[in-house]
Structure 1
Amino acid sequence: MRDDKLLTRIAALLRQAENTDNEHEAETFMQAAQRLATASSIDLAVARSHDPAARKRTAPITRQIAIGEAGKRGLKTYVQLFVVIARANDVTVDVAGNSTFVIAYGFESDIDTCEALYTSLVVQMVAASDAYLRSGGHRGQVSARVVSRGGGRRIVEQKPLSGITARLNFQSAFAARIGARLTEARDAAQAEALAAESAGDRAASTAIALRNKEVEVSGFYRRESKARGSWRPTSAAAGYSEAARRAGDRAGRRAKIGPDREFGAPRGALEG
């Protein structure tokens, strides 16, 4: 069941992160938002494990979420951002072959959390990469890629770093850093919940509930997914840039979370 009060509380924390100029305060609010989402998810899992009626009322769902228009360059990095957010919130994702949309599998409240986080972070990711390119920080750098030569030889080819390759590397590193931050917050919230229950000898109950939830979502995904093959976030053909990735990682560390900054596109989507 969708919890609008929970989303309101998460949104308030995200706006606090957005409105502070203090990087450490922003980090605290972001962590609090993810931990609140995780704590609510744990509470729901425990309640469902003890109440058969609750299990019937709340079951995993699927939701299609728009990422961008076909032909827009860089959609894979937008998808990568959604995927890392989903992993931190017990949601499994299938990706369209052209990366224009994803299909999320999980509990409704968890998917809502993913969309709230994505809506803010995707705009920040694009804005940060735009600023990086405008600064000229990529100029004078090189990208590297492995190419094949005759006789099965493979060599590393280096060439000047182009704007599009810089953007893709920047955004990929940004997404990876966000995934690490959210996963850290989730793990801390789960550890806190288990520690709080250990005094009452109920930690095993929470652990079992979380495991049962994982199994339920996994089973639902296997039954419902029509996906074939596996999705990979980046293409080796684009080239690798250590400098652009370092810049993207730094931007991911500084990112503030706020759901009210978005392009004028449908929820979760980016305009071309």
Structure 2
Amino acid sequence: MRDDKLLTRIGGLLRQAEGTDNPHEAEAFLAAAQRLATASSIDLAVARSHDPALRTRSTPISRKVTIGPAGKRGLRTYVQLFVHIGRANDLTCDVASNSTYVIAYGFESDLDTVEALYASLVVQMVAASDAYLKSGAYKGQTAQQLVTRDIGPWRRRVVESKTLSPITARLNFHSAFAERVGQRLLEARDEQRRTAIELEQAVAGREQPTDSGQALSSSTAVALRNKELEVADFYRHESTARGTWRPSRAGAGYSSAARQAGDRAGRRAKIGADPELGGARGALER
């Protein structure tokens, strides 16, 4: 069930957020946007659990999302960003062997939200890595690469250091950016879920611990668990994927300097804040 009103709201917030360079505001922007998406997802999950008709109309679907043309360098890092955003919004993803597209499985409203978040964040990721390379900060740094060498009568895999090239710097930057953004989204999602469950329990007069290691009997927690199981069951029946996708290849080279730069950019990545969800009003003004 598509929620165009929610998408319009998120889209407007995304555009308004582009004006700030304040990392603290950027942190609030991303968390607020994810909380908004999670709150909407929780509302739908709870509604479905109480309404058989809605449960029949609203079921998981699959959607093919194009990432980029074959041969474009760094597509795996673009996929990595999409998968991390999807994980924070209850999607399961299959990835093409050449990383040109993703098949995402989940509820339509979640799919729409993930595409909106990805469209903004991928632009920020590329722009930030362009600025990093243009600054020349990567020059003089090294990368570690796993290679195969003939050592006497044996062939062995060893780690060697090499000068950090622009493409290796970009790939490491993108990968760290995607991981950091994914972590921030998961934290915002989990915070929103805890808040919703605790509020429900308080209203019901049933205060109880909500640590992840303890069972939750609230209807919100049950609805979210049922949603998770429904998506997992749909994926098992629909997916034809073979093997497991991994975000990077060992042979690409690892650079701690480039990853630190990407991580910092991921911390600053911004998405529209909603004043109702705690974002700073001033940050929305150009």
Same fold judged by TM-score > 0.5?
yes
Q: Classify the secondary structure of the residue corresponding to 1:200.
A: helix
Counterpart position of 1:229: 243
Counterpart position of 2:253: 239
Aligned partners of 2:142 and 2:164 also within 8 Å: yes
- Are residue 161 (structure 1) and residue 164 (structure 2) matched? yes
- State how far apart, in whole Å, the 2-side matches of 1:26 and 1:149 are: 46
Aligned-residue sequence identity (percent) comes to 72
RMSD between aligned residues: 1.3
Aligned partners of 2:3 and 2:109 also within 8 Å: yes
How many residue pairs match? The answer is 258
- Are residue 249 (structure 1) and residue 263 (structure 2) matched? yes
Q: Supply the AA of the counterpart residue of 1:254.
A: R
Query: CA offsets per residue over residues 76-129 of structure 1, 9 Å max, x none?
Result: 000000000000000111101110010110000000000000001111111111
Pairwise CA distance, 1:149: 3.2
Pairwise CA distance, 1:152: 4.9
What are the residue-to-residue correspondences of 1:81-160 with 2, within 5 Å? 81-150=81-150, 151-160=154-163
Counterpart position of 2:181: 178
| Runs of 4+ displaced beyond 4 Å | none
Pairwise CA distance, 1:256: 1.6
Counterpart position of 2:214: none
Q: Supply the AA of the counterpart residue of 2:138.
A: H
Aligned partners of 1:17 and 1:27 also within 8 Å: no
Aligned partners of 2:178 and 2:266 also within 8 Å: yes
When the two structures are superposed, what TM-score results if normalisation uses the length of structure 1? 0.91
Pairwise CA distance, 1:10: 1.8
Counterpart position of 2:193: 190
Aligned partners of 2:146 and 2:158 also within 8 Å: yes
Q: Classify the secondary structure of the residue corresponding to 1:109.
A: helix
Q: Classify the secondary structure of the residue corresponding to 1:198.
A: helix
Q: Supply the AA of the counterpart residue of 1:104.
A: A
Counterpart position of 1:68: 68
Pairwise CA distance, 1:200: 3.0
Aligned partners of 2:30 and 2:270 also within 8 Å: yes
- State how far apart, in whole Å, the 2-side matches of 1:20 and 1:139 are: 28
Q: Supply the AA of the counterpart residue of 1:206.
A: T
Counterpart position of 1:51: 51
Query: CA offsets per residue over residues 9-55 of structure 1, 9 Å max, x none?
Result: 22233233222333222221221111011011001001111111110
Q: Supply the AA of the counterpart residue of 1:56.
A: T
- State how far apart, in whole Å, the 1-side matches of 2:192 and 2:13 are: 16
Structure possessing the higher radius of gyration over alpha carbons: 2
Query: CA offsets per residue over residues 156-177 of structure 1, 9 Å max, x none?
Result: 1111111111110000000000
When the two structures are superposed, what TM-score results if normalisation uses the length of structure 2? 0.87
Q: Supply the AA of the counterpart residue of 1:105.
A: Y
Structure 1 unpaired stretches of 5+: 259-272
- State how far apart, in whole Å, the 2-side matches of 1:15 and 1:71 are: 31
Q: Supply the AA of the counterpart residue of 2:85.
A: I
Q: Supply the AA of the counterpart residue of 1:208.
A: V
Counterpart position of 1:199: 202
Q: Classify the secondary structure of the residue corresponding to 1:217.
A: helix
- State how far apart, in whole Å, the 2-side matches of 1:26 and 1:15 are: 13
Greater RCO structure (CA 8 Å; 6+ sep): 2
What are the residue-to-residue correspondences of 1:15-54 with 2, within 5 Å? 15-54=15-54
- State how far apart, in whole Å, the 1-side matches of 2:142 and 2:26 are: 33
Q: Classify the secondary structure of the residue corresponding to 1:148.
A: strand
Counterpart position of 1:263: none
